[in-house]
Structure 1
Amino acid sequence: MNNLPKKVKIVEVGPRDGLQNEKEPVSAAAKIELVDRLSRAGFANIEAAAFVSPKWVPQMASSSEVMAGITRRPGTIYSALVPNLQGFESALASKADEVVIFGAASEAFSQKNINCSIAESIARFEPVARAAKDHGLRLRGSISTAFGCPYQGEVPLDAVADVVRRMRDLGCDEIDIADTIGVATPRKTQEVMLRAAREFPLESLSGHFHDTYGQALANIYASLEVGVAIFHSSVSGLGGCPYAKGATGNVATEDVLYMMNGLGIETGVDLDQVVDAGLFISQQLGRKGVSRAGNAIAAKRAG
């Protein structure tokens, strides 16, 4: 227990990764309200937007409006996902604090997802990375399918390390190791994280776990044990992956916070306010959230 980090950073990805696959449109006003509620809850980093083609991700078409409408909390990093230089220009115009670029650890996933090889996908981000540095923005790299792929199955540790190295060489400040389809288990999680840490500082690696097989919290705990102290989660467990059949949402923020609070690990985030934000967005979507802790706390309040 003593060797767990005393403090962790939770990156709230609900407004972007969580909402991007919703079939019914979510209004810009609702997204702004969600981001503002999350800001007030105390997150150090909120993934608020994606400047991608509205043809491919219609839910993110209102990203400029959202970024213009939010009330920015001093000290919070507002991130935007960008696929290319055009997306970067939009992120810059919207005053994003951090741009997020992405690649896959699985060659098969890269081909199916973005129709090019891993090497090609990373090369496409070179001008984006340069532009981010020129403008003094933080640059985050996200590596999907780092623990398993829906098309090729196992993903070798060396394949993950290779993409970590490429992201590092682009100048990334932080690198996310993502379990896109939620297949990881604790020991595998530790192997992948420790292998990635041979290429990039452990304190700047983050864990992004999906809960498809119910292993996300166990994998976060396993990551804590080897010193990882940045995690992604999504309010109310929003989100999934359109390219991964049957993949459920990101791990729910409320569940992660409940666990961190129980471990005495500082997050700087108010769990009760996050529960409120989860209830708000679930109401907007017309369905109950999937956070176990969130639902339990809400039920207890209702008495």
Structure 2
Amino acid sequence: MMRTPFEVPMDGLPDRVTIYEVGPRDGLQNESAIVPAGVKAEFLARLAEAGLTTIEATSFVHPKWVPQLADAEELLTRMERVPGVRYPVLVPNERGLDRALDHGVTDIAIFGSATETFARRNLNRSVDGSIEMFTPVVARALENGLDVRAYLSMCFGDPWEGPVPVEQVVRHGRRLLDLGCSQLSLGDTIGVGTPGHVTALLAAFAEAGVGPERLAVHFHDTYGQALANTLSALRAGVTVVDASTGGIGGCPFAKSATGNLATEDLVWMLSGLGVETGVDLESLVATSVWLAGELGRPSPSRVVQALAAESPGRRNVTQVPAEVPPAVEEE
């Protein structure tokens, strides 16, 4: 079996893509069992060793809502920070920011919604109310020299409201950027987007004065469209793509959402296109095999299944695609 794709570059793509790894936060917060802080710390170390340079470490969301990440402070104390690697932390409010500042965090993320229903279910407030909540968080973070990223959920469809108008997504996305966020990650929370929809949304942002250099994409693979949607985003100039090692993740507040785009699947595609990522695929696959053993279930990543199946003694954690339980509270 081929362990690397045949490289055939395609015109109109960036030379390099930054992978924003969300597995330790977006993926693990969806697990039904609590993953020990020591395992999480090793996961972070393995990801950095594989060449990932932006790894979202954890979240300061209240443990009542995300008990799987209740050990955020312990993890930040135990983890080894690798020079040149950024470890963003998700924060929902000023209290979360206080905790992040106390632990020397340099990069944070906030999470908004493009729809009113999901804002109510996820943040327990309206879209306007969420902007009011985020305003002092972003201002204080910037005053303290932190970088702030914004997530925008339900950019392509909402299970309660249906299709989300492009202009609505652009309007709410602009509001988050106007707070001072350096980047906006556009989330297909329930995985219903298609390539033409992605192209239209990015074009609408460009017409509103927001170029691809300010945007990232965050696709879920519910309908198998994540890689196709990513390729459309790259053609539109986007160079930052969110992904989760092993394809773990989903959304507990949107039960129709399944796993995130698998980092291994993304790296395979980009390698075949001649797009640099700086990520070692073999190391990443080995990490997913190890993580599958820790979680007690197989990795849903197709690349992990294909490559790890060749390794003796590992079929039990890789050969059968897993049904991923619902997972995160934002994208």
Q: TM-score, normalised by structure 2?
A: 0.89
CA distance in 1, matches of 2:191, 2:95: 31
Q: What is the aligned partner in structure 2 of residue 38 from structure 1?
A: 47
C-alpha displacement of 1:117: 1.2
| Mapped pair 1:300 → 2:310 | yes
1:115-157 per-residue CA deviation (whole Å, 9 max, x = no partner) reads: 2111110110111101110111100000000011011001111
CA distance in 1, matches of 2:257, 2:121: 16
Q: What is the aligned partner in structure 2 of residue 86 from structure 1?
A: 95
Paired letter, 2:133: R
1:197-229 per-residue CA deviation (whole Å, 9 max, x = no partner) reads: 334231120000000001000000111111111
C-alpha displacement of 1:107: 1.5
Q: TM-score, normalised by structure 1?
A: 0.97
2:189 to 168, 180, 198: 180
| Mapped pair 1:64 → 2:73 | yes
Q: What is the aligned partner in structure 2 of residue 161 from structure 1?
A: 170
C-alpha displacement of 1:171: 0.4
How is 1:1-303 mapped onto 2 (pairs within 5 angstroms)? 1-197=10-206, 198-302=208-312
Paired letter, 2:287: A
CA distance in 2, matches of 1:216, 1:91: 31
Structure 2 counterpart SS, 1:103: strand
C-alpha displacement of 1:96: 1.9
1:76-115 per-residue CA deviation (whole Å, 9 max, x = no partner) reads: 1100000101101111122222110111111121122222
CA RMSD, 1 decimal: 1.2
CA separation of 1:199 and 1:149: change in aligned 2, threshold 3 A: farther
Contact 2:159 2:256 in 1 (8 A): no
CA distance in 2, matches of 1:196, 1:288: 38
CA separation of 1:109 and 1:199: change in aligned 2, threshold 3 A: farther
Paired letter, 1:196: F
- Matched-pair identity in %: 47
Structure 2 counterpart SS, 1:255: helix
Paired letter, 1:236: G
Contact 1:165 1:199 in 2 (8 A): no
Contact 2:216 2:242 in 1 (8 A): yes
Structure 2 counterpart SS, 1:301: coil
State the number of aligned residues: 303
Structure 1 counterpart SS, 2:152: strand
C-alpha displacement of 1:284: 0.7
